[in-house]
Structure 1
Amino acid sequence: MLFIKNAKIVLETGILWDGVLAVEGDRIAAVGKASEIEIPKDAEVLDAQGLYVGPGFVDIHVHGGGGHFFYAEPEEAAEHFLRHGETSILATLYYDLPKKEFAEAIERVKEARNRGGAAQAIAGFYMEGPYMNPKYGACAEKNKWRGTIRKEDFQEIVDRAGTLARVWAVAPEREGLEPFLSYAKEINPGVVFSVGHSEASPEQVRSLKFYGLRLQTHCMDATGRVEKWAGTRGCGPDEACFLDSDMYAEIICDSQGIHVNPDMIRLILKVKGMEKVILITDSFVSEEPGPKELEYIQDLVFDANGGLNGSRLTLDVACRNLMTHTNCGIAQAFMMAAGNPARVIGMEHEIGTIAVGKRANLVLVDDMFHVKKVLVGGKVWQQEQRKKNV
């Protein structure tokens, strides 16, 4: 049994300032004050030295990082994010992949997961497409799925992904979408649908609640509104998310508030509440230059048209940015980077918070969210390899 002592343990209910956490096998066996948990003299001990011990980050929307896409090099991409405390990841596949490459990418990621190693952090797929509105999003001209929605096109992809497809992002306004929704839910009854790259009205969004739509893909990014009256602002997916108390809002929280303006972040938190906001990286791999006025920003990625194309974020940095832009503290940042994302994909019984019986995926950070140690299944993640690659 491993004991972590001298820890500030981040719990759902607050912070345990002088805490001890015990790990047996790959599970959390005990959590309590130092005065409550006796550490045997011959026990294996990890001294946290006053660091915060929180749940491993859960990044549900991430395409790749460190020069590696998940669809092409899943192990290398996962290793990059594990070094930053992301112990659970949904590998995100995009609508720029045609059917054959989509299917091949799914199999490549599944094979990597079966081999273990860093790829064990991949908890499934976030399907950003294929059926979103081709008017919106990065590389929109590369959307391979603009045509009629037909079962012979999507069946193989849905079958191959199976229950690992934890999220399908869709545009509710796409014609002929419901057969796809029905089949995806038949293959995975627990699937979550997200409204993404869309100009759907709140009514159109609400019409898909029956299928399990309860998430918005990167709130305030790649959304539009159909104007009904000249000079007025229409209501679109962002407003639909604001109005629905069951829906979660994803936020890309970059250093300068380019994806989502800091005032807008504060508004989202005020309207949705911290319990319904999820930090994502939407990390992407691209070397395309951006606009001159944004060249100094290191955590943005651009497409060939100079438009935003995700980020170079990791969730430890996103947490720090959140604390910069808002009055959120460390416990709230962990909620939005671990607890809430685990909850929306139905994995809250295993990951996302620190509690007895849950998987011992843990991250040790200082008060600026610099990651000092990562534990996966109760074991310190390959420290020598991590130091070499940092």
Structure 2
Amino acid sequence: MDRIKITNGKIITPYRLLEKGTIIIEDGIISCVTKEDVPVQDAVVIDAEGHYVAPGFIDIHTHGGGGSDFMDATVEAYLKAAETHARYGTTSIVPTTLTSTNEGLKQSFEAFRKSKSLNKLGAELIGIHLEGPYFSQEQKGAQDPRYIRVPLREEYEKIFEWSDDIIRWSAAPEIEGVLDFCRYARKKGVLMSIGHSDAIGEKVAEAFENGFSHITHLYSAMSGVKRMNALRVSGVIESAFLIDEMTVEIIADGIHIPADLLNLVYKIKGPSRTVLVTDSMRAAGMGEGPSILGSLKDGMEVFVEDGVAKLPDRKAFAGSVATADRLVRTMAGPAGVPLVDAVRMISITPAKVIGIDDRKGSLAPGKDADIVIFDSDIDIKTTIIKGKTVYKKK
């Protein structure tokens, strides 16, 4: 039996800190979490050196990183992106597609399937998130308008036949046929999320009643309060706050949403209903300069500067280049959120949202030993996935 003992660390649980705690791992599974220094025979000892020891970060919305995008539809792209995010503390990811041709989706599905068994050093590939193509043209953001369309049953039935790995899907509920599509997808066990939507509050409430339970990148590419026939009506943003059970995700890079609004989301929705996501593109973990959003063959030219990707005309953002450590750093820093809650929003909360909290998301006996060690600046020192150290800062 392979045993690992992590000692001398400040262990972060969902609700508190255990100073100088100890974690024992046996065969990739956590067997003990305690504030005591317990002896363990024949164990490899990892000295956390007084740093924080937290559950591995879970990113349920990422398009890539390290120069690779999941729409490149190659095993190499999947593995490179997964390894890149592991260096920044992410132990599980939900690779996300973009609005594209169906053939592009099919190829990406196949690359995901092949990559799962070959992924040895990267964040675990949990499942696929389809972002589009059933979106509002008015709120398309950086989604390619050529491929935005209404859902047809024969189309989405075929897409589901191509892959058993689809676990979430983002769509705009006001689009004709989307609520029927939502009910179909929910029967498949898929998390349905409102995104790139111009819906008013009444339609959001109806969508929630029909199975939509999550909001894709709150504040980005969605409606807010507006006038109709001279009267003000709520949009997706206000509805996300009004519906208590609705969970939300935020791109907490400090640019897509400023610190004061990040704090507002935290105060209204709380850490148990708020998920931190990178929504990262291929430029995550890379330098500034020109890049491509989407596949190299058919993607959109963008420019990375000031810590974010922008459209060539600089009139709108075109994707995030954030990594998970940056999200935690922003929330625990400028946004003024307690570190324990910031970590909670990128560990146990996303695990619950996508239904893997029985085995991931917190440091507890019986769960996968997905662990990240970082210092007070949220600088990642070590990333461990199922008991295996996949990254250690030199």
| TM-score (norm: length of structure 2) | 0.88
Asked whether the equivalents of residues 91 and 124 of structure 2 are also in contact (C-alpha less than 8 Å), the reply is yes
**Residue of structure 2 equivalent to 1:193:** 192
Q: Distance in 2 between matches of 1:182 and 1:275?
A: 25
Identity %: 31
Q: Output the CA distance in 2 between the equivalents of 1:169 and 1:132.
A: 8
Q: State how far apart, in whole Å, the 2-side matches of 1:266 and 1:178 are.
A: 32
1:172 is matched by which residue type in structure 2?
A: P
Q: Contact 2:193 / 2:212 at 8 angstroms: preserved in 1?
A: yes
Which of 84, 87, 91 is 2:95 aligned to?
91
Aligned partner of 2:11: which letter? I
2 CA distance for matches of 1:133 and 1:347?
Answer: 30
Q: 1:99 to 1:224 in 2, by over 3 A?
A: same
In terms of mean alpha carbon deviation, does 321-330 or 270-279 score higher? Answer: 321-330
Q: CA deviation at 1:288?
A: 4.5
Q: 1:21-100 counterparts in 2 under 5 A?
A: 21-35=23-37, 37-40=38-41, 42-72=42-72, 73-95=77-99, 97-100=100-103
**1:291-310 mapped onto 2 (5 Å cutoff):** 298-306=306-314, 307-310=316-319
Find the residue that maps to 2:174 and give its secondary structure: coil
CA gap of 1:128–1:305, structure 2 versus 1, over 3 A, is farther
Aligned residue number for residue 6 of structure 1: 8
Question: Are positions 1:268 and 2:269 aligned together?
Answer: no
Q: Structure 1 residues 249, 330: CA separation in 2 closer, same or farther (over 3 Å shift)?
A: same
User: Alpha carbon RMSD of aligned pairs, Å?
Assistant: 2.0
SS of alignment partner, residue 337 of structure 1? coil
Unmatched tracts of structure 1, length 5 or more: 290-294
Q: 2:135 aligns with which of 132, 135, 140?
A: 132
Whether the aligned pair in 2 keeps the contact of 1:288 and 1:304 (CA below 8 Å) is no
Look up the equivalent residue of 1:285 and give its one-letter code: R
1:346 to 355, 361, 369: 355
Q: Give 3-state SS (helix, strand or coil) of 1:155's partner.
A: helix
- Establish whether residue 179 from structure 1 lines up as the match of residue 180 from structure 2: yes
- Could you tell me how far apart the structure 1 residues matched to 2:328 and 2:268 are? 20
Q: Which amino acid aligns with 1:74?
A: Y
Q: In the superposition, relative to structure 1, how do residues 123 and 296 fare at CA in structure 2: closer, same or farther (>3 Å)? A: closer
CA distance in 1, matches of 2:222, 2:313: 18
Correspondence 1:101 to 2:104: yes
The secondary structure found in structure 2 opposite 1:325 is coil
Aligned to 1:202: 201
Alignment of 1:105-254 (within 5 A): 105-118=108-121, 121-146=124-149, 148-162=150-164, 164-186=165-187, 188-189=188-189, 191-225=190-224, 227-230=227-230, 233-254=232-253
Q: Secondary structure at the match of 1:18?
A: strand
The residue number in structure 2 matching 1:326 is 335
Question: How far off is 1:297 after superposition?
Answer: 5.2
Distance 1:211 1:143, change over 3 A: farther
1:278-297 matched pairs, under 5 angstroms: 278-285=275-282, 287-288=289-290
User: Is the contact between residue 51 and residue 375 of structure 2 (CA under 8 Å) also seen in structure 1?
Assistant: yes
SS at match of 1:278: strand
Aligned counterparts of 1:304 and 1:142: Cα–Cα separation in 2: 16
- Equivalent pairs counted in the alignment come to 370
For residues 273 and 172 of structure 1, what CA distance do their matches in structure 2 show?
25
Distance 2:163 2:210 in 1: 18
- Which residue does the alignment assign to 2:299? none
Q: Post-superposition shift, 1:47?
A: 0.9
Over 3 Å counting, the alpha-carbon distance change for 1:209 and 1:278 in structure 2 is same
115-124 or 369-378, which moves further after superposition? 115-124
CA distance in 1, matches of 2:243, 2:183: 22
Corresponding position: 1:381 with 2:382: no
Partners of 2:146 and 2:247 in 1: how far apart? 26
Using the size of structure 1 for normalisation, the TM-score is 0.89
Q: 1:304 to 1:153 in 2, by over 3 A?
A: farther
**Displacement after TM superposition at 1:212 (Å):** 2.9
* Alpha-carbon distance between aligned partners in 2 of 1:274 and 1:334, rounded to the nearest angstrom: 9
Residue in structure 2 matched with residue 336 of structure 1 by the alignment: 345
> Residues 342 and 351 of structure 1 are in contact (CA less than 8 Å); yes or no, is this contact kept in structure 2?
yes
Unaligned runs of 5+ in 2: 284-288, 292-302
Instruction: Sort the Cα spacing of 1:143 and 1:118 in 2 relative to 1 into closer, same or farther, 3 A.
Output: farther
